[in-house]
Structure 1
Amino acid sequence: MSALAAIHVAKKQLGLDEDTYRALLMRETGKNSAAKLTANEQRRVIEVLRNQGFKPSSNASQTGLKGRFAKKLQALWIAAWNLGIVRDRSDRALIAFVKRQAGIDHVRFVHHPEDARKAIEGIKAWMAREAGVNWLIEGFLPDWMQCDGYRIATAQFFIMKKLDPSFAEHRSVQNWIASELQLDARFMQSEDWITVMNSLGVRIREGQTK
């Protein structure tokens, strides 16, 4: 399947309406049509779509996680990928990591609360240790600064400050969000934070390969 065809398959698979789809293209490439994208831009868009759940082949779902806690575990794993500390974003890699770190079989950790908690806390501890994510509850902070998206995006922002000198002009992640994405962090919803994390994740991985 060509990259262009994959983008259109992803659009349909993710149920993106035309406005959302065009906005994604503009945000990531500055162009509103996939047909106008360069090969590198097409790869970047596909990577963003994969972050949002696009499965390029039907085989991908056969080894995927299922169960009460699957979405939370997958979200944390993709966040770790967007922080640059995970090299393989697949469910198979997630299962192997949890089994290696906590000795928990994946059939148990996606169904049993105690095992799921151990797996979730294990991933969060790793993200704190390797990427500087601050999970501490600070009662004096507003609610929007207490959400996982803000905590992860803040850690990504400081990683980018080390990788890209141009980030030095931004005082905080909310300043960068307002400048680059024209969003107000105080009023962002969970899907907005996913957009921010995905966008910064692309930049982190690009910076790590230079």
Structure 2
Amino acid sequence: MRSSIAAIHVAKKQLGLDDDTYRAKLARITGKQSAKDMSEDERQSVLTVFRNEGFAPASATRRADGRRKLTGRFAKKLQALWIAAWNLGIVRDRDDAALISFVKRQTGIEHTRFLVHADDANRAIEALKSWIRREAEVLYGNSNGYDWLAADGAKVAWAQWRILTPGADLMARKGFDDAVLKLTGVALLQQVTPSGWQTVMNHFGEKIRAGK
């Protein structure tokens, strides 16, 4: 009982909820405004909602090397874009601290865990996308009629390939398909999974950074 109440209080702080927002959220989930008044099942329901909104328990907030992971509702999206920018050679420092500084410049908010409003998060997300689009011509929001380019990972990987292979275009991809097959074992680009595209992006990213 005490552990779940404590976890809810930690989640409140981690998600940056003020008292009014916190109590309104509890009431919306369980009909009760205090964790102490809830049954254990109700508290677990609250924790499930908080986890879906970005709450990460203490055991999940540290990396294998002991560094704290980014937390917050929008942290994964922001980090994915930041790593994409790093793999494109746009960002020089992939560390979370550099991303946090970027978010602060865009929103005035100190840390991703305090990004609880979509408007604030979208400001940082769209700024990152615009930067990536401008510097590397990543086709966010446009598949150019190719099903495989619907995935953001594919968009980034294709932009990387164009950096590595001048003159490549969608009609003459100059070995892109073979490179993806070699890295993922998947012959059809539209069947490459998100994790497969991540493998491709990481590999291409090493080559791009090595050439700088």
TM normalised by structure 1 equals 0.61
SS at match of 2:211: helix
Work out whether residues 66 and 110 of structure 1, in 8 Å CA contact, stay in contact via their aligned partners in 2.
no
Alignment counterpart, residue 122 of structure 2, candidates 117, 120, 143: 117
Instruction: Tell me the equivalent position of 1:100.
Output: 105
Instruction: Tell me the equivalent position of 1:88.
Output: 93
**1:14-163 equivalent positions in 2, closer than 5 A:** 55=63, 57-58=65-66, 60-61=67-68, 64-107=69-112, 110-138=115-143, 140-142=145-147, 144-162=148-166
CA deviation vs aligned residue, 1:156-203 (integer Å, no higher than 9, x gap): 0011124xxxxxx95253343135654322211111011000010111
Work out whether residues 177 and 183 of structure 1, in 8 Å CA contact, stay in contact via their aligned partners in 2.
yes
Distance 1:69 1:75 in 2: 10
CA shift, 1:138, in A, is 4.2
CA deviation vs aligned residue, 1:119-158 (integer Å, no higher than 9, x gap): 111101000111121113347432x311100100011001
RMSD: 2.5
Work out whether residues 157 and 200 of structure 1, in 8 Å CA contact, stay in contact via their aligned partners in 2.
yes
Alignment counterpart, residue 195 of structure 2, candidates 187, 191, 197: 191
Work out whether residues 67 and 110 of structure 1, in 8 Å CA contact, stay in contact via their aligned partners in 2.
yes
Work out whether residues 138 and 155 of structure 2, in 8 Å CA contact, stay in contact via their aligned partners in 1.
yes
Distance 2:89 2:131 in 1: 12
Distance 1:146 1:170 in 2: 17
Counterpart of 1:88 in structure 2: which amino acid?
A: D
Counterpart of 2:125 in structure 1: which amino acid?
A: I
Work out whether residues 82 and 200 of structure 1, in 8 Å CA contact, stay in contact via their aligned partners in 2.
yes
Determine what percentage of the aligned residue pairs are the same residue: 46
SS at match of 1:134: coil
> Which residues of structure 1 form unaligned runs of 5+?
1-53, 163-168
Distance 1:76 1:82 in 2: 10
User: Which contiguous aligned blocks of 4+ residues in structure 1 show a shift greater than 4 angstroms?
Assistant: none
Instruction: Tell me the equivalent position of 2:15.
Output: none
**1:191-210 equivalent positions in 2, closer than 5 A:** 191-208=195-212
Distance 2:65 2:202 in 1: 21
TM normalised by structure 2 equals 0.60
| 1:176 equivalenced with 2:184 (yes/no) | no
Work out whether residues 157 and 200 of structure 2, in 8 Å CA contact, stay in contact via their aligned partners in 1.
yes
Q: Which has the higher contact order (CA 8 A, sep 6+)?
A: 1
Distance 1:126 1:174 in 2: 27
